[in-house]
Amino acid sequence: MKESTEDEVCQICGNAYAEIYHVPDDVWEAIKPPGKVEGAGLLCPRCADSRARENSITLYWEASSGWWKEDVAAFAEEAESETSNPDTTADSLHSSH
């Protein structure tokens, strides 16, 4: 995970973006940039939405505020607790791979 707050560059359109988002693993695998290995790639929100629509997937966006490092730490803690419970699975962050 990058420690920088610099913008990422979309691997489809080439535009820089600063939004941090995550999607379920199965959705990411359907929309990730072509040729990327499992879990890899960078997509701006516009291209993520476009690729999802191409695959008959509707993304629902939810906004929140906060410092992304805190959000990532909380997400990682939640994912760790879920992996200890075999009845649940965790999503992965995909904007900073």
In a domain, 25, yes or no: yes
Least reliable range by pLDDT among 49-53, 67-71, 91-95: 91-95
In a domain, 22, yes or no: yes
Can you tell me the distance from the alpha carbon of 53 to that of 68, in angstroms, rounded to the nearest whole number? 27
Structurally, the chain folds into a number of domains equal to: 1
For residue 95, the model assigns a pLDDT of 47
Give the helix ranges, DSSP H, for 6-84. 25-31, 45-54, 68-83
Can you tell me the distance from the alpha carbon of 91 to that of 5, in angstroms, rounded to the nearest whole number? 22
| CB proximity list for 16: less than 8 A, separation 6 or greater | 7, 8, 9, 10
Read off the pLDDT of each residue in 68-92 and give the average, rounded to a whole number.
61
Please, are residues 18 and 51 in contact by the beta-carbon 8 Å criterion?
no
Q: What is the pTM of this model?
A: 0.62
Residue-number span of the structural domain to which 21 is assigned: 8-93
In a domain, 56, yes or no: yes
In a domain, 2, yes or no: no
In a domain, 45, yes or no: yes
Q: Which sign, positive or negative, has the C-alpha torsion 69, 75, 77, 83? A: negative
In a domain, 3, yes or no: no
In a domain, 79, yes or no: yes
For residue 89, the model assigns a pLDDT of 41
Mean pLDDT of the chain: 78
In a domain, 1, yes or no: no
pLDDT for residue 97 is more than 90: no
pLDDT for residue 8 is more than 50: yes
The residues with which 8 forms a beta bridge, in sequence order, are 17
